[in-house]
Amino acid sequence: MKKIIIGADHAGYDIKEFIKKYLEKMGYEFDDVGTFSTESVDYPEYAERVALGVKKNKNNVGILTCGTGIGAAIAANKIPGIRAALVSNSREARLSIEHNNANILTLGGRPFDKENVRKILKAWFSARFQGGRHLRRIKEIEALEKKYLRK
């Protein structure tokens, strides 16, 4: 079974705590890498923690939250091999897996709609990567990473 690495900055703390309850209810195993309060912190630190947890084991996936989800997604995507997708609805969540094989789901925490978050999580966890032409595109993304990485 996949392990989920979950993290947030202070603005994503409340949605992270909501997501943890959902994951527990659904029987998913997860590691919470912080933050553990609403005290102001910087999202790149938590994006890195989640991304490295995902990178450590190809079966792991991550969930990141910050105020809008934008900063956390940008920061996580700096780590080679990470495909963090900022989504706002269940269709985007499903397609982030089916077409992009996303390994980190990124959500905005201010504000958030509990029912929408449940739908997003359900869609994300039930979707499967379609491969085919989408695999070709993932390989092209990996080639871009290698092209621009410092040696």
- Per-residue confidence band for 1, with pLDDT thresholds at 50, 70 and 90: low
pLDDT band at residue 100, thresholds of 50, 70 and 90? very high
- 3-148 CATH pick, 3.40.50.20, 3.40.50.300, 3.20.130.10, 3.40.1400.10: 3.40.1400.10
Measuring CA to CA, which residue among 103, 72, 80 is closest to residue 3? 103
- At 2 the pLDDT is 75
pLDDT band at 22 (very low <50, low <70, confident <90, very high): very high
Of 80, 57, 54, the C-alpha closest to 151 is 80
* pTM as predicted: 0.96
pLDDT, position 15 = 98
Sheet holding 29-32, edge to edge: 29-32, 3-8, 61-66, 104-108, 84-86
Catalytic residue ranges:
66, 99
Degrees to nearest 5, angle at CA 149 with 143 and 151: 120
The ranges assigned to domains in the chain are 3-148
Cα gap 111→12, rounded to integer Å? 9
Please report, rounded to a whole number, the percentage of residues in the chain having pLDDT higher than 90.
96
